[in-house]
Structure 1
Amino acid sequence: MDQNQIPYPGIAHTIKDKKALLARVRRIQGQVAALERALEQDSDCSAVLQQIAAIRGAVNGLMAQVLEGHLREHLGTEDQTPEERRDNLKQVLSVLRSYLK
């Protein structure tokens, strides 16, 4: 782990949405499997590109859902000290930098 990274506190908000998050992940798995089949079958480039775009959109949607829950749970509450809020913000920014590379 990078020395600037702080271990994440529990992510209880993902437990609340566990069923929906797992459904999203399973759809993404299906899309990736379809992409693999398309590549194995030498499918048309436009079909492959469309599948890649669909996967990216699905992953972005998953990221947005988990990120929103995280922000609400760890930054949107009043029961944190300024230090805890700063640490949580540092974590989110680190993940976003990594995700947006």
Structure 2
Amino acid sequence: MPSTPEEKKKVLTRVRRIRGQIDALERSLEGDAECRAILQQIAAVRGAANGLMAEVLESHIRETFDRNDCYSREVSQSVDDTIELVRAYLK
């Protein structure tokens, strides 16, 4: 879980955006929108959820490995590489 107020605010903003997308999707389904439009909305929700997951996971990884300042530059680079890999996978 994000520990700083800034990180928490970013995560909550993402959650609220996803909620808005879900509400719009529900309205589209109730209104008998075209399948193409509905699928596009579902893809947007999936992308937003993956972005949220990446944000929370990055925060967790950084909190876990940044607790101790004794880690070397190599470990710090490995953390950055791991986060980049996870973000690429979740796209």
TM range (shorter): 0.5 to 0.7
Which segments of structure 1 move beyond 6 Å, counting only runs of 4 or more? none
Structure 2 segments unaligned to the other structure (5+ residues) = 70-89
**Partner Cα separation in structure 2 for residue 17 and residue 71 of structure 1:** 13
1:1-101 matches, within 5 Å, as 11=1, 13=3, 15-78=5-68
More helix by share: 2
**Partner Cα separation in structure 1 for residue 49 and residue 19 of structure 2:** 10
Q: Partner of 1:75: helix, strand, or coil?
A: helix
- TM-score, normalised to structure 2, is 0.68
Distance change (3 Å), C-alpha of 1:57 and 1:12: closer
Task: Give the aligned residue type for 1:23.
Answer: T
Q: Deviations over 1:59-101 (max 9, x none)?
A: 000110110010010134437xxxxxxxxxxxxxxxxxxxx9x
Are the counterparts in 2 of residues 14 and 66 from structure 1 also a CA contact under 8 Å?
A: no
Task: Give the aligned residue type for 1:18.
Answer: K
- TM-score, normalised to structure 1, is 0.61
Structure 1 segments unaligned to the other structure (5+ residues) = 1-10, 80-99
Q: Partner of 1:17: helix, strand, or coil?
A: helix
Percent identity for Structure 1 against Structure 2: 60
Are the counterparts in 1 of residues 2 and 56 from structure 2 also a CA contact under 8 Å?
A: no
Supply the RMSD in Å over aligned alpha carbons: 2.0
Task: Give the aligned residue type for 2:7.
Answer: D
